[in-house]
């Protein structure tokens, strides 16, 4: 967090926030301000790591935390070792309802002086740094957090969540995360992930929506995540909830986390890609079995991930897709140039036209439950401009399946940007908008002004 303080703009932003929150009487700290209909978090993209992170207030007194956003993560974990000071932190006692929600039946002791993360007779949970694939365990606890409510178009009010359950991590677990961040926030399928806690506290329907920004402008380029029932309105008055296509969400019965207990299901979101088309022509896959989830060992299938900057494909799928893409690109008179890592297929950007939805390149369709339901990926989401002359297909080769690559297709951040994705867990379905650029808007066009400028 510290490095943001070097920016004068951020200092101003911070002091406005502090002023705003100091005006709440601390004796009210245990009650929820309003009955919000929906909540919204801002999502910022870091240029260097390509991680998406969100920023809100936590602890007493309030402190700004930056949390890396993990769509399929099980829970929120925060570094409690360095500078965690709060009068409202409460460790979860063994056998408590909080421990049950965390799926934790153990009981730990700590032989250092007591502090958040080190208390006796508490339960702990497994914490996953999904960015680098490192896991450890940490004390389950709860503390207050604050964020903004929304009517789907504008921010409305500040909402406080007095006892949000999370886990305390050692400082070392921050390795690989964007500089200054405090931990990871999980939105996965778990009773202690953000969506479940918010829907049970505020009686929301079990639903949330993600709109990742492609902009790395920390102040004017923020995307949004919505919790609860609301439209998703981006200026100029485009309601992205009005034109979603739906596809079933699947549960992988075997965890895909770095560490997990036996029998634990994956908390990530899987969809059923049945085939892939390039410029509307089917790609011949050698082993289409890789597209389904093996119920025994959890290998295969297609998931969505915000911790992978680019889509990852199993080697045989990658090979077939890049070959088909190259063929279609040549038919469109594109010129192949030497590849720039981590990509394997690049083109000269000279003779590539531009469209509202990015460079004019072959379209990629992920065909879902039927031939007529597909997620079409256009140039803005398929191509990465690596330098002023070169455009690369933003897909990387993940290696072969067993025992290497668990999930055959991981749809990464670049492919999700400027698309509205609604995860409706009560109906087990994903609603997707395809590129909002078609509708002359993007994920950075949500009005976060209230938290921005005070």
**Least separation in angstroms between CB 40 and ligand NAG:** 11
Told to check if 152 binds ligand NAG by CB under 6 A, we report no
Distance of closest approach, residue 377 Cβ to ligand NAG, in angstroms = 27
Q: Which is nearer to ligand NAG, 23 or 296 (CB)?
A: 296
Residue from the set 33, 217, 297, 371 that interacts with ligand NAG by CB under 6 A? 297
- Applying CB under 6 A, the span of 112-120, 223-231, 301-309, 405-413 interacting with ligand NAG comes to 112-120
Q: Show contacts with ligand NAG in window 153-192 (CB under 6 A).
A: 154-155, 179-180
Angle at 283 between CA 277 and CA 289, to 5 degrees: 105
Spatial CA neighbour of 151 closest among 43, 241, 40:
40
Q: How far is Cα 123 from Cα 406, in angstroms, rounded to an integer? A: 30
Q: Is-contact 195 122, C-beta < 8 A? A: no
- For ligand NAG, the closer of residues 120 and 200 by Cβ is 120
> Which one, 60 or 121, has the nearer CB to ligand NAG?
121
Work out whether strand 183-186 and strand 207-211 pair parallel, antiparallel, or are unpaired: unpaired
Computed over its alpha carbons, how large is the radius of gyration of the chain?
Answer: 22
- Closest separation between CB of residue 448 and ligand NAG, Å? 8
Query: Sign of torsion, CA 258 44 174 62?
Result: negative
Contact set for ligand NAG, span 433-452 (CB under 6 A): 447, 449-450
In angstroms, rounded to a whole number, what is the distance separating the alpha carbons of residues 324 and 281?
Answer: 9
Taking CB under 6 A as the criterion, the residue among 119, 401, 415, 434 binding ligand NAG is 119
Strand 409-411 relative to strand 134-150: parallel, antiparallel, unpaired?
Answer: unpaired
Closest to ligand NAG by CB, 154 or 316: 154
**Angle value at C-alpha 126, between 121 and 128, nearest 5 degrees:** 145
- DSSP for 376-390, please give it: EE-HHHHEEEEETTE
CB count, 10 Å around CB of 333?
9
Both tokens assigned to 314: 């199993």
Q: How far is the CB of 360 from ligand NAG (least distance, A)?
A: 32
Residue 109 sits in the site that holds ligand NAG (CB under 6 A): yes
Residue 302 CA to its chain's centroid (Å): 16
Contact 133, 149 (CB under 8 A): no
DSSP-based three-state secondary structure for 7: coil
CA distance linking residue 239 with residue 153, whole number of Å: 9
Residue nearest to ligand NAG (CB): 3
Report the Cα 412 to chain-centroid distance in Å: 10
Element (H, E) at 279: none
| Residue 296 or 388 with smaller CB distance to ligand NAG | 296
Q: Out of 294, 315, 316, 369, point to the residue binding ligand NAG (CB under 6 A).
A: 294
Q: Is the peptide bond before 236 cis (omega within 30 degrees of 0)?
A: yes
Contact residue for ligand NAG among 29, 94, 107, 110 (CB under 6 A): 110
- The residue (of 291 and 328) whose beta carbon lies closer to ligand NAG is 291
Looking at beta carbons only, is 33 or 297 nearer to ligand NAG? 297
Residue number with CB closer to ligand NAG (109 or 388): 109
Q: Does 236 bind ligand NAG (CB under 6 A)?
A: no
Q: Is 453 in the site for ligand NAG (CB under 6 A)?
A: no
# chain residues binding ligand NAG, by CB under 6 A? 20
For position 16 contacting ligand NAG by CB under 6 A, the verdict is no
Residue closer to ligand NAG (CB basis): 110 or 265: 110
> Which residues in this chain contact ligand NAG in the complex, by CB under 6 A?
2-3, 109-111, 114, 118-120, 154-155, 179-180, 289, 294, 296-297, 447, 449-450
């Amino acid at each position: 967090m510290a490095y943001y303080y070097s920016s004068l703009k951020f200092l101003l932003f911070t002091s406005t926030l502090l002023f705003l929150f100091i005006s709440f009487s601390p004796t009210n700290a245990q009650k929820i301000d309003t009955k919000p209909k929906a909540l919204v978090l801002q999502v910022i993209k870091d240029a260097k790591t390509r991680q998406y992170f969100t920023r809100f207030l936590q602890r007493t007194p309030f402190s700004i935390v930056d949390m890396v956003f993990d769509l399929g993560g099980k829970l929120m974990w925060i570094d409690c070792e360095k500078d965690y000071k709060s009068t409202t932190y409460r460790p979860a006692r063994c056998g408590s309802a909080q421990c049950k929600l965390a799926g934790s039946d153990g009981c730990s002791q700590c032989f250092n002086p007591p502090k958040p993360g080190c208390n006796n007779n508490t339960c702990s949970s497994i914490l996953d740094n999904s960015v680098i694939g490192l896991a450890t365990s940490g004390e389950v606890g709860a503390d207050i957090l604050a964020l903004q409510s929304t009517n789907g178009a504008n921010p409305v009010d500040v909402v406080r969540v007095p006892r949000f359950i999370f886990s305390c991590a050692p400082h070392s677990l921050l390795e690989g995360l964007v500089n200054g961040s405090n931990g990871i926030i999980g939105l996965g399928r778990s009773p202690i992930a953000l969506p479940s806690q918010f829907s049970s506290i505020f009686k929301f329907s079990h639903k949330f929506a993600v709109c990742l920004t492609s902009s790395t402008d920390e102040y004017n380029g923020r995307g949004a995540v919505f919790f609860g029932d609301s439209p998703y309105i981006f200026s100029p008055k485009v309601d992205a909830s009005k034109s979603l296509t739906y596809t079933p969400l699947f549960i992988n019965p075997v965890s895909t986390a770095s560490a997990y207990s036996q029998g634990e299901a994956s908390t990530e979101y899987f969809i059923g890609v049945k085939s892939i088309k390039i410029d509307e022509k089917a790609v011949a896959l050698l082993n289409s079995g890789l597209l389904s989830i093996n119920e025994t060992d959890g290998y295969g299938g297609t998931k969505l991930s915000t911790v992978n900057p680019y889509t990852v494909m199993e080697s045989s799928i990658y090979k077939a897709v890049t070959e088909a893409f190259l063929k279609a690109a040549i038919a469109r008179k594109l010129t192949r140039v030497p590849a720039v890592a981590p990509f394997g297929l690049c083109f000269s950007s000279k003779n590539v036209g531009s469209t509202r939805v990015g460079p004019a390149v072959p379209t990629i369709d992920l065909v879902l439950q039927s031939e007529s339901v597909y997620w079409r990926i256009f140039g803005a989401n398929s191509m990465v401009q690596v330098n002023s002359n070169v455009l690369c297909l933003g897909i990387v080769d993940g290696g072969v399946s067993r025992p290497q690559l668990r999930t055959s297709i991981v749809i990464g951040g670049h492919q999700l940007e400027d698309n509205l994705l609604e995860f409706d867990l009560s109906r087990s379905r994903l609603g997707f908008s395809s590129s909002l650029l078609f509708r002359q808007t993007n994920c950075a066009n949500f009005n976060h002004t209230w938290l921005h400028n005070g």
